[in-house]
Chain A
Amino acid sequence: MVPRLEVRNLRKSFGDSTVVRDLSLSLAKGEFLSLLGPSGCGKSTTLSMIAGFIAADAGEVLIDGKSVKDLPPQRRGVGLVFQDYAVFSRLTVADNLAFALEIKRVPRRERRRRVEDFANLLGLAGMLNRRGASLSMSEMQRVALARVLIGEPQILLLDEPMSNLDALLRANLRTELKQIQTGLGQSVLYVTHDQAEALSMSDRIAVMRDGELLQVGSPEEIYRRPCSRFVAEFIGDPPINLIQCEVHRDGVQLVASTVRHRGLLLGSGQADSGSYLLAVRPHDVAVSREPVAGSAPAVVRFIENFGAEHVLHIDYGGELIRATVAPGFADVEEIVHVSFGCGSVGLIDLGTERLIEVEPAEDRARVSRVQAQVGE
Chain B
Amino acid sequence: MAGAAARATHSAGNHITERQDLMRERQLREAAIQEVGDEAVGPSCQRSGRYGAIARTIARRMPFEVALALPAQLTVLAVVLVPTLVVLWLSVTSWQPTQGIPWYKAEVVWLSNFVDLVQDADFVSAVLRTVFIVVLSAAVELFLAIGLALLFMEDWAWRRLAVSAIIIPMMIVPVDAANAFYMLFNDQGPLNYILSLLIGRTVQIDWLGDVHLALVPIILCEIWQWTPLMFLLMLTGLMNLPENQIRAAAVLGASPRRVFMRVILPLLMPVILLSLIVRSIEIFKLFDPVYIMTQGGPGNATETISMYMYHGAFMFFRMGYMAAAALMVLVVVITISAMLARPLMRH
**A247 touches B (CB below 8 Å):** no
Choose one: B242, B247, B252, B263; the contact of A148 (CB below 8 Å).
Answer: B252
B3 within 8 A of A: no
Interface residues in A72-118 (C-beta closer than 8 Å to B): 72-76, 78-80, 82, 84-91, 99-100, 103-104
Contacts of B251 in A (CB 8 A): 51-52, 73-74, 76, 78-80, 148
Q: How far is the CA of A282 from the CA of B47 in the complex (A)?
A: 73
Contact across chains for B245 and A86 when beta carbons are under 8 A apart: yes
Q: Are B247 and A86 in contact (CB under 8 A)?
A: yes
* A147 with B267: CB separation less than 8 A: no
Indicate the member of B254, B255, B267 with the most A CB atoms within 10 Å. Answer: B254
B244 and A84: CB pair below 8 A? yes
Contact across chains for A86 and B253 when beta carbons are under 8 A apart: no
* Chain B interface helix/strand/loop/mixed: helix
B contact residues around A88 at 8 Å (CB) = 245, 248-249, 262-263, 266
B15 CB-CB contact with A under 8 Å: no
Asked if B253 and A89 sit within 8 Å, CB to CB, the answer is no
Residues of A within 8 A of B247 (CB): 51, 53, 73, 80, 82, 86
B interface bracket (residues with beta carbon within 8 Å of A): 10 to 19
A346 at the interface (CB under 8 A from B): no
Question: Which B residues are CB-close (under 8 A) to A76?
Answer: 251
B-chain residues with CB within 8 Å of residue A104 when the two chains form the complex: 253
* Cα of A88 to Cα of B267 in the assembled complex, Å: 9
Contact status B254-A74, CB under 8 Å: yes
Is residue A151 within 8 Å, beta carbon to beta carbon, of the partner chain?
yes
Known: A86-B244, A89-B242. A99 touches B266 (CB 8 A): no
Count of A interface residues, CB-CB < 8 Å:
28
A51 CB, min distance to chain B CBs, angstroms = 6
Contact, CB under 8 Å: B250 / A74? yes
For B259-282 the 0/1 string (1 means CB < 8 A from A) is 000110011010000000000000
> Would you give the shortest CB distance from B250 to chain A, in whole angstroms?
5
CA distance A99 to B250 in the complex (A): 11
Instruction: Verify if B258 is at the interface (C-beta below 8 Å from A).
Output: yes
Residues 46-86 of chain A, each 1 if its beta carbon lies under 8 Å from chain B, else 0: 00000111000000000000000000111110111010111
Q: Are A99 and B244 in contact (CB under 8 A)?
A: no
CA distance A91 to B269 in the complex (A): 13
In the complex the two chains form, is A147's CB within 8 Å of B250's CB? no
The contact string, 1 if C-beta is below 8 Å from chain A, for chain B 218-260, is 0000000000000000000000001011011111111100100
Instruction: For the complex, give the distance between the alpha carbons of A304 and B252 in Å.
Output: 46
Interface residues, chain B, with chain A CB atoms under 8 Å away: 242, 244-245, 247-255, 258, 262-263, 266-267, 269
Nearest 9 Cβ contacts at the A-B interface: A90-B266, A86-B244, A86-B248, A100-B252, A103-B253, A82-B244, A80-B251, A73-B250, A86-B245
